[in-house]
Homo-oligomer: A and B are copies of this chain.
Amino acid sequence: MSQLTPDAGPPPRRGRGRRPADQVRAEILAAAGKLLLAEGMAGFTIEKVAAQAGASRMTIYKWWPSKGALALDGYFTVVGPTLAFHDTGDVVADLTSQLVAFVHLMNDTPAGRVISQLIAQAQTDPDLAAGYRQRYSAPRRALAVEAINRAVARGQLRADIDPESVVDQLWGACYHRLLIPDQPLTEEFARTLVDNLMRGLR
């Protein structure tokens, strides 16, 4: 059950009584993550998670306050935080590589679909919104802001810039193309974003 193999044999049906709490919890989270990656938020239902984990719905309701909370927990148990900002001393290189990696994550892995649907769900689920900000977006923002501040300290960027706004103009622009795909989200786009800001438009 701990494996992610595609077959993923449904856990053998147990009898009635109690099973070790940690084991059940782990199986539920694994099932939630797997289901999320496989079907996205659309097909993500408490009933399916319970069925795939071989657990009862009651158990899930007892531990997670909302569907969103379960989805978020499930996502992190499968994907993990995946943070870390390389610092080579060159802001442009660091921002670009980080942004390009982000674009690839969104385009070439199921993470993109899941993230966009988590954000979608968060629009009507305050619990999920809070959890998402606290556990995902805020830490990532903080890392980017730190990197920018280091560059300011090194004199590579103006001292009077607002780092937060820069984050929105880099990652926010990518999220925009992820969520409203009028235009494609490409590696070239990511590089252009950094270039636009660095050189200015004039």
Binding site for B on A (CB under 8 A): 40-42, 116-117, 119-124, 129, 132-133, 137-138, 141, 156-158, 161-162, 164-166, 168-169, 171-177, 179-183, 189, 192-193, 196-202
Q: In the bound complex, how far is the Cα of B141 from the Cα of A173, in angstroms?
A: 13
Q: Shortest distance in angstroms between A147's beta carbon and chain B's nearest beta carbon?
A: 13
Q: A176-B176, A182-B133 are in contact. Are A124 and B40 (CB under 8 A)?
A: yes
Contact A169 B180 (CB under 8 A): no
Report chain B residues within 8 Å CB of A201: 157-158, 161, 166, 197-198, 200
Residues in B with CB closer than 8 Å to A181 are 129, 133
A120-B121, A172-B176, A201-B158 are known contacts. Are A196 and B141 too (CB-CB below 8 A)?
no
CB contacts (< 8 Å) of A119 on chain B: these are: 120, 123, 179-180
* Chain B hits for A41, CB < 8 A: 123-124
- B-side contacts of A174, CB under 8 Å: 168
State how many angstroms separate the Cβ of A33 from the closest Cβ of chain B: 19
Listed by A's residue number, 26 A-B pairs whose Cβ atoms lie within 8 Å are A40-B124, A41-B123, A42-B124, A119-B123, A119-B179, A120-B121, A120-B122, A133-B180, A137-B180, A141-B183, A161-B196, A161-B201, A162-B196, A165-B196, A169-B169, A169-B173, A169-B193, A169-B196, A169-B197, A171-B176, A172-B175, A179-B179, A197-B201, A198-B201, A198-B202, A200-B201
